[in-house]
Amino acid sequence: MRTLYINIGELLQIRDHSTTYLSGNEMNILPRLQDAFLLVENDTIADFGEMRYADAVSADRIIDLQGKFMLPAWIDSHTHLVYAGNREQEFVDRINGLTYEEIASKGGGILNSAKRLQETPEDDLYEQSKLRLEQVMAQGTGAIEIKSGYGLTPEAELKMLRVIKRLQADFPATIKATFLGAHAVPAAHKGNRDEYMNVVINEMLPAVAEEKLADFVDIFCEKGYFSVEDMERLLRASKKFDLKAKVHVNQFNITGGVPAAVKHNALSVDHLEIINEEDIAALKNSDTMPVALPLCSFFISIPYTPARRMIDAGLPLALASDYNPGTSPSGNMNLVIATACIKMNMTPEEAINAATVNAAYAMGLEATHGSITKGKKANLIITKSIPSYGYLPYDFGNTNIHQVILEGKEI
Ligand code: NIG
Ligand code: FE
């Protein structure tokens, strides 16, 4: 099946296969083509170019986009989309003055979600998660990473990862799974973190690897959660199973987790609301992608990752939603991009690059996703009729998407 899209007002994010990720000044450049055509063959971008060459292209069907923009689908490299129930009461508690950390220390937060997830049958968990996935796909997300971490027992962690596997099989979005058993110390191991880390490393990790349920491993490296030593232990153990790391680090405190993650060649370090020069130096010339989660900062009123400081220091940066019931009950990448522009002073070009090319790298998908490149996956967004791409973050709160195409199919 060959579908030819014609009269594209502007084709955004055109790259060749040599682009793996963008750092520093490169992030401010968004290569594009006006008045273009694009050919999709089955699930792949087969060709594109100036409209005047479209006549020579044969196709089974032709779709006239009448000046609309086309760009690669968003890539959300950090979510906790599989969860049970919601936490709107904690949201109200925070409005009334409690902090996220105070709520967590009273048994709320992650442990609250873990209790509900443990009580929720797998099919029910699948149904709840499926609705969220359908929603973010309609908002333009074509590839998404989903973590476990609300199970916190071997059975419940495996249940979460099996739900992710079912979503992978049932939906055209590209999904990667991350094992986050070390998300919080569960009540059953309260005060005994080492004992729980033994369960994570000696019981959960081998079971996850055996069933091939995860692509990556993660840990919440933070005061009151897990230490840098715990992270190093987990990352060493994960290497034996060939699982690369994507870690939660520096959300509330500088822990030393960034240099340690870089040392272990983590694929990404995520959050970074608090960061120091040592962290920036460690990330410089490393292969580790820093990932900012602006909706988490917005929702729980904590500092934003200092994107300007990082990009101006020459670092790359990716953006993700952190979709989860506690700190970001939204997986809308359009809002992520707008918030990055409004609150982190990223330019529209930087934000779009961070949510496509750099996000693909943060999921290990840079060879197949994240740009308009011949041979890459036909995961595409067609915008409504908009005056320029800067209108996308400007018109925040609205989703200016006319059509999403995943694996070559209009969804
Ligand atoms: O990325 N920081 C740790 N984990 C999640 C929040 C988890 C929750 O509150 O349920 C995050 O923000
Ligand atoms: Fe997270």
pLDDT tens for each residue of 361-385: 999 999 999 999 999 999 999 999 9
Question: Which residues fall within 8 angstroms of residue 226, CB to CB, at 6 or more apart?
Answer: 182, 185, 193, 197, 219, 220
Res 315: pLDDT = 98
Could you tell me how many helices (H) and strands (E) the chain has, helices first? 16, 16
Residue nearest to atom 8 of ligand 1 (CA): 326
The rounded distance, in Å, linking the Cα atoms of 63 and 33 is: 18
User: For residue 226, how far is its CA from the centre of ligand 2 (angstroms)?
Assistant: 14
Q: What residue spans define the domains of the chain?
A: 2-72+372-410, 75-362
Please state which CATH class domain 2-72+372-410 belongs to. mainly beta
Per CATH, the homologous superfamily of domain 75-362 is Metal-dependent hydrolases (3.20.20.140)
Cα three-residue angle 220-234-278, rounded to 5 degrees: 60
User: For residue 408, how far is its CA from the centre of ligand 1 (angstroms)?
Assistant: 33
Closest ligand to C-alpha of residue 249 is: 1
Residue nearest to atom 3 of ligand 1 (CA): 220
The rounded distance, in Å, linking the Cα atoms of 160 and 401 is: 31
**Ligand 1 pocket residue status of 48, Cβ below 6 Å:** no
The DSSP element (H or E) to which 56 belongs, if any, is none
The predicted-structure confidence for 230-283, as pLDDT tens digits, reads as follows 999 999 999 999 999 999 999 999 999 999 999 999 999 999 999 999 999 999
Residue 21 annotated as binding site: no
Q: Where are the alpha helices (DSSP H) in 61-178?
A: 88-95, 100-105, 110-119, 122-138, 154-170
**Residue to mutate (ligand 1; options 77, 80, 178, 323; most atoms within 8 A of CB):** 80
Which residues are paired to 372 by β-bridges? 14
The rounded distance, in Å, linking the Cα atoms of 23 and 7 is: 32
Question: Are 148 and 179 in contact, with CB atoms under 8 Å apart?
Answer: yes
Q: How far is CA 206 from the centre of its chain?
A: 25
Res 285: pLDDT = 85
Closest ligand to C-alpha of residue 112 is: 1
* Residues, beta carbon < 5 Å, ion ligand 2: 322
The rounded radius of gyration (Å) of the Cα atoms in the chain is: 21
The rounded distance, in Å, linking the Cα atoms of 197 and 225 is: 11
Pull the structure tokens for residue 28: 């401010």
User: For residue 110, how far is its CA from the centre of ligand 1 (angstroms)?
Assistant: 7
Place of tokens 């130096």: 281
% of the chain beyond a pLDDT of 90:
98
